[in-house]
Amino acid sequence: MNSMAQNSAKTIITKWISDIRFWILLFFVLRLYGITQAPIEIAHNWRQTFTNLVARSFLEVDANILYPKAPIYGNNTGVVGTEFPLLNYFIFWFQKCLVMRIGMDD
């Protein structure tokens, strides 16, 4: 009797695991954990803003990749210390190509 119950339980478990609805429900429930908390990237808004600020400065002021500038008050030269601005320069080139493409050059 006991081995028959074990085989029955294995069959039921195998049926559940092979059913896609089980996996959808499981991952949906796991995704609900912490759903009311703010996104993690909310703490990095300052970095995203600063990256776009330097990229905009490349477009409007000077495109020298070795001297990234940002219009920060109290900084006379505008040159700011950041990591190597490769992403900023990529954004600058994308903006420049977009401006040339749609003809919005001042």
Q: Are residue 53 and residue 92 in the same domain, yes or no?
A: yes
Q: What is the pTM of this model?
A: 0.52
Q: Is residue 48 part of a domain?
A: yes
Predicted confidence band of residue 102 (pLDDT cuts 50, 70, 90): low
Q: Does 78 or 2 have the greater pLDDT score?
A: 78
Q: Is residue 39 part of a domain?
A: no
| CA distances, 104 to each of 9, 85, 89, 100 (Å) | 69, 25, 20, 7
Write the pLDDT tens digit of every residue in 43-100: 667 788 888 888 888 888 888 888 888 877 766 777 888 889 898 899 888 888 887 6
Give the chain's domain count: 2
Domain that holds residue 63: 44-102
Q: Are residue 23 and residue 58 in the same domain, yes or no?
A: no
